[in-house]
Structure 1
Amino acid sequence: MRRYDRVPHPYVLQPAMGQKPRLEPSDAIELDVTLIGHAAGYIAYVVRALQDAAATGIGPDRLVLDLEHVAPVPVTAASLSADPGERRGGLCVQALPALPPPCPKQVRVELLTPLRVQRDGHLVGPETFTPGDLLRNLVRRVSMLRQFFTDRPLEADFVALKELGLGLRARHAALRWVDLVRRSSRQDTVMRMGGIVGRFELDLTGAEPLWPYLWLGQWIGAGKGATMGLGRIGLFRALG
C-alpha cells in the first residue's frame, strides 16, 4: 500500500442504464448505490446525504429532485444471465452473497460505461486493450478496499494473479472509445472522461483464481471514475 497516496472511496454510484441523458421536470431516475465493507453500516447517513443533494439540485441549472423511495436490489449467486436487459437499477441495501457462483468456462464481459484504465502511466485505448488491464485493476481495487474498509486484508499471490491476467486473451472483441465530459463545480472547468465501451469474451480455463475479482467488478467498477459509475461491468453467458 506504500505505492498509493489516496484511499479509495467505499461506495459506488451508478445511474441505472438506459436513462435519458438530459432530465426534464417530472422525470424519474434510478440510482444504484453500492456500499463496501464497513461503509454498509452508514446506510442511514447515505440516504440523508442523497436527500440533501437532491434538494440542492444537480447540473448547471440545479434541477431539484425528490428522493421517492429506497428499495433493495436482490443479489444472488445464481447462474449468469444471457440477457443484459434483465439487470435493473435501484438503491442497493442488500448484502452480496459470501461467495461468487462457480467459475464459468467462458464468460462475456460487457463494458457498460467508459472504462479508464492505465498502463505505464497512459490510458489504454480499444486497439491496445487486453483483459489483463482490466483484471490487474480489479485485483488492486479489491485489495485496497479490503485493506481500508474490512477487518480482513486480502491475502493473495499477487504475482501469480498478474501472470494469469497477462495470459488471458479477448475473443470476439467489439470495443470502441466513447468521449464523455463532465463539469466540475469545484474546479469550475469541463473535464474529459472518455473510455472504452463494448464487449469481449474470455475463456477462464486455468484462470479460475481471477473469477472472484471479475465477479465483484459488477458492483465496484474498475478504473478511474469508478465511484461515479465509470468502468461499470456486466457479466453474461458467452454466446459461443
Structure 2
Amino acid sequence: MPAMLEVKALRHRFGTGPGAHTAVEDLSFTVEAGELACLVGHSGCGKSTLLRCVAGLTRPTGGTIRLHGTEVDGVPPELAVVFQDYGRSLFPWLTVAGNVEFPLRSAGLDRRERASRARQALDWVGLADAHRRFPWQLSGGMQQRVAIARALASRPALLLMDEPFASVDAQTRFELEDLLRRVRREQDTTILLVTHDIDESVYLGDRVLVLSSSPASIVADLTVDLPAERDQITTRESAEFVALRGEVARLLRHRAVVGEAS
C-alpha cells in the first residue's frame, strides 16, 4: 500500500536569472494514513511554499507529490487546507453554517446532505449553537474553529494546516491544539501541519519533521514518543517533552548557524 502522502525530491524556484530564489530543495518525506505530522522551521524557510505545492496551489519546479499513490496535478478533491489568516478565509456575508457548507456545493451534495455535514462538523468543534451567527460576530478563536469545521465537513483524506493558530492568543491556541488532537483521534483524520513553534510541533505531532533554513529540506524526522492523551500542563512539564523540544531546538539552531555561515 502506498503512503497517504509521498513527497519526493521536491524543488521549487521563484523566478529566473540572478534574482531567482530557491525556496525548497531536494525535499522528501512521507505521511501515513491517520498520522499527524508537523513540519517545523524558521520563518521564511519555505514552509508555506512547501504546503502550497502539496496542496496543488503551486506547481513545483521539480520532484513529485503523490496522494494515495496518484501524482498531484492541481488541487486534489480529497484534500482540504486551513490557513493562518482565518479572517480572510471566511465570507462575512454568509452565516457560520453557510461558510461551512460553501465548499460542499461544488462537490455536488444536495441541500440536506450539506446541512447535515455542516451540523456535524460544527458539533465537532463546539460551535453547534453558533450556526446562525456571522463570522464578524465571533471571536478570533471561534472564527478559526469555523475554518477548521469547514475543512472537516468535506471529509478530506488529508488536511493541510499552515500555522493555523499563530494569530490567536495563547489560551485560545491551547484550546485549538487540544481540539485538533481530539477531532483527529475521533475522525481518524490525516494531518500535515506547518508551524514555526517548536513546542506546538512536539505537543501536537506523532512526528516532527525539522526543516533547514532556506532553501527548505528535511534535516530530521523525529518520532514523538508521548502518550496519546496529552495535557497542556503535565505533558509540557514531562521529561520526554522537554528532551524532544530541546532536540528540535538544537537542530533548528544548528541549521540556522550553518545557513548563515554558508
User: Above 0.5 in TM-score?
Assistant: no
- When normalised by structure 1's length, the TM-score is 0.28
Larger helix fraction of residues: 2
